[in-house]
Each structure stands twice: as C-alpha cells, then as structure tokens.
Amino acid sequence: MAIGTALLVGYYVYSARQQLGADYTALVGDIVRAQQTAPQLNHALESFIDEPFGLHLRQIHHTLWLSEQYLEHVRHGLQQHPQLHRDTAYLEGDLSLLGEQLIELEARAEAALVDRSLLPELQRLSMDIEATMAWAYSELNTAVHSAAGRQRLIMQRLSWAVTGLVLAVMLIALTLLAAVLHLQRQRNTLKMLMLTDELTGLYNRRHLVDAASRTLTDAQRHQQPISLLLLDLDYFKHVNDTYGHPAGDDVLRKVSQQLCNISRATDIVARIGGEEFCLLMPNTPVDDAENVAERIRHAIAIEPLTHLDRHLQQTVSIGVTTSLNGAQSFQQLYSLADQALYQAKALGRNRVESVLPTSPVSQTNETHHPLEERG
C-alpha cells in the first residue's frame, strides 16, 4: 500500500513539476506595470494632440519606451513558465501586434509634430493600442491567476498524499512491530515448552542438564561446593492404582509445589521422570543439602493430601551427594545421588541417604546416561 501511494505521489509530482516550481510573482508585477502604461500613454497623447510640441512628444517617447520595456518583460516572463506560455499561446498574435503598434505610434507622433493633419490618425491608433493592451493584459492576468490556483490545488493534493503516505508507513511499521512481538511471544512460549514439564511447570531434564554443566563450571571456578538431590516418590504406583491417575497427577503437582517452596531461588528444581525429581543446589555443602533433603522429606510426609475427600499418604526417598569444588561431572554426581537414593529405598523408604565422592574426582564406573528413566 505504501509503495503504491509512493509511486502515485512520485508520478503526480513528476507530471506537475512545471507548475509546482513556478513563481508567478515577478510576472504578475510586470503585467500590472504594463497595464499601467496604457493610461500614461493615453494622457501623453492627449497632451500632445492638444498641444503638439516637442515637450509632449518627449513624454510620448518616454511612455512608449516604458510600454515596450514592460511588454518585453511580460513576453520574457511567459517564456519562463512553459505551461502558462502554452495556455496563453492564443495571445501571442495580439502581443506581437501591440509591439508593432507601439513602434508605429512613435513614428506617427514624429510625423504629426510636423503635419498636424495626421493627429486624428494618431488618435485612432492610440485608441487601438489601448484596446489591445486592455484585452491582452487582462487575459494574461486571468491566465496567471488560474495557473496560481492550479498550483495551490496541486500543493493541497500533494500534502494529502504525503499525509496518506506517512500514515501508511506508520501502519506498516505498527503491523510489523505487532508481528515481531507476536513472533517473540511465540518463541518464548516455545522455549518455555521445550524447557519445562507440562504437568508441574518445573524445569525438565533437558534444562537440568544444560544448567548443571554451567553451574558446575561456576562451582569449579569459584571452588565452591555443589549438591545434588534425587527424589523419588514411594509406592507411587499404589496411589495411581488405588485413587486413579488424576489423583496421582495431583500428588505430583503438590510435591512440586513443596520443592519450590523449600528450595532457594538459585536452586534448580526439575522433574526428570514420572515420579522422579532433582534439586541442584549451587554453593551448598553436604550438611546443608542433607538438612534441606530432610525438610523436604518431612514436609511431604506430613502434607495432608486429599483426593475426592479421600485421605492420601505420600512419602519420598531422597539421595544426596555433594561435590566439594565442582571437580566432578554432572554424570558422576548423578550416579552418586542415584546410589544414595537406591540405599534410601533399600533401607525402607521415606528417608534421606548420602553418598559422597571418594576423591576429588569420583571414579564411578557408571556408563549409562545419568538421566535414563528408572525402570
């Protein structure tokens, strides 16, 4: 739309460029001054006819000289405005005739000074000149004014077109901005969907792995401890089997909420499998990690869970491990936390167990990917 309007405005400016740039001020001044020479010439001739002396003849000479000068200016001015020149082409003959008549009048006035019988003829010629001047200059005046009127109209249309163009460009800019914002929102939503778990809103395993490698690098750089908690709900299958899948979903959401409430803003809480969760705790020594694990275990165990007015009991087993300085890889830490979780399950569930690296870099023999689903 903007391109179409711009092309239209361009074409309009191109076709109207002669009229747009025209300045008729000088020409109007010349026409007015040329018109004023008619009464001056008439006055000089009347004085000469009353008293045909040299003084009045000189007045005629002077007025004729002025008339010729202004006539010349007017004709030159017309040539400066090609469009106006074409519009007034029909006056070309009258203006040429006027030039010739002015020259003839001069000659006849000279002759009448010697032979007074030529005075009536001089007077007739003077009346002819006056009539030609009145007609030609009044026509020119009208033509110039209508050209100026057309020029104003063009300017008005152009300002409308430019306003339309500016509005169209603004509209396009706003539409583009809205489209970009929409795309940005879609991108963010997509990103969120890719990094979060739909049921609980927690981060998913993909984000956990990415974030863990960054967090471990930081821990190593600053020589800070980092802890990892693996949580697995106890006998969760029983909840599903007894109360149904929606009840199980409800429990998963509530446990997620507990994890978020107890963890710090700098911790990363993720759901990594069906009823498995992970809590990565930067800058946290093993004692603190065990305390947090114990608080989580306790909070879940005492949480009054209900579904359709039926009371549910849910507990969680937690495996804890800690790297003293971020020297271990995430895979190694995950494997140690998994061993601790296995112990917690084996020792009766609803408990916290820890397994720590034996040396700065754990020599674990785990070969499977740490985030493979527990069978």
Binding residue for ligand GTP, selected from 45, 203, 269, 275, defined by CB under 6 A = 275
Binding residue for ligand GTP, selected from 145, 191, 221, 245, defined by CB under 6 A = 245
Binding residue for ligand GTP, selected from 12, 235, 243, 342, defined by CB under 6 A = 235
- Candidate list 275, 276, 290, 353, residue with the active-site label: 275
Measured CA to CA, the distance from residue 266 to residue 15 in angstroms comes to 69
Measured CA to CA, the distance from residue 333 to residue 98 in angstroms comes to 111
**Which x/- pattern, by CB under 6 A, does the window 247-266 give for ligand GTP?**
-xx--x--------------
Structure tokens at 193: 């969907």
For ligand GTP, give the closer residue by CB, 30 or 275.
275
For ligand GTP, give the closer residue by CB, 137 or 236.
236
Binding residue for ligand GTP, selected from 44, 88, 165, 234, defined by CB under 6 A = 234
**Among positive and negative, which fits the CA dihedral 242, 246, 251, 255?**
positive
Residue type for position 355: V
Cα 293 versus chain centre, distance: 52
Measured CA to CA, the distance from residue 41 to residue 67 in angstroms comes to 8
Least Cα distance to 60 among 115, 94, 103 occurs for: 103
For ligand GTP, give the closer residue by CB, 152 or 311.
311
Cα 358 versus chain centre, distance: 60
Binding residue for ligand GTP, selected from 78, 233, 289, 312, defined by CB under 6 A = 233
For ligand GTP, give the closer residue by CB, 73 or 345.
345
Kindly state whether residue 133 participates in binding ligand GTP, applying the rule CB under 6 A.
no
Kindly state whether residue 301 participates in binding ligand GTP, applying the rule CB under 6 A.
no
Residues of span 183-212 touching ligand GTP by CB under 6 A: 199
User: How distant, in Å, are the alpha carbons of 255, 300, 307 from that of 245?
Assistant: 15, 19, 11
Residue type for position 362: S
Measured CA to CA, the distance from residue 282 to residue 221 in angstroms comes to 12
Stretch that binds ligand GTP, among 11-19, 121-129, 228-236, 283-291 (CB under 6 A): 228-236
Kindly state whether residue 342 participates in binding ligand GTP, applying the rule CB under 6 A.
no
Active site residue 72: no
Cα first-last separation, the chain: 62
Measured CA to CA, the distance from residue 264 to residue 252 in angstroms comes to 20
CB of 240 to ligand GTP, least distance (A): 4
Measured CA to CA, the distance from residue 299 to residue 290 in angstroms comes to 14
For ligand GTP, give the closer residue by CB, 130 or 249.
249
Measured CA to CA, the distance from residue 274 to residue 251 in angstroms comes to 12
The footprint of ligand GTP on this chain (CB under 6 A) covers a number of residues equal to 16
Residue 358 C-beta-side C-alpha neighbours within 13 Å: 3
CB of 347 to ligand GTP, least distance (A): 12
For ligand GTP, give the closer residue by CB, 150 or 349.
349
Catalytic residue list: 275
Q: What residue ranges bind ligand GTP (CB under 6 A)?
A: 199, 232-237, 240, 245, 248-249, 252, 274-275, 345, 349
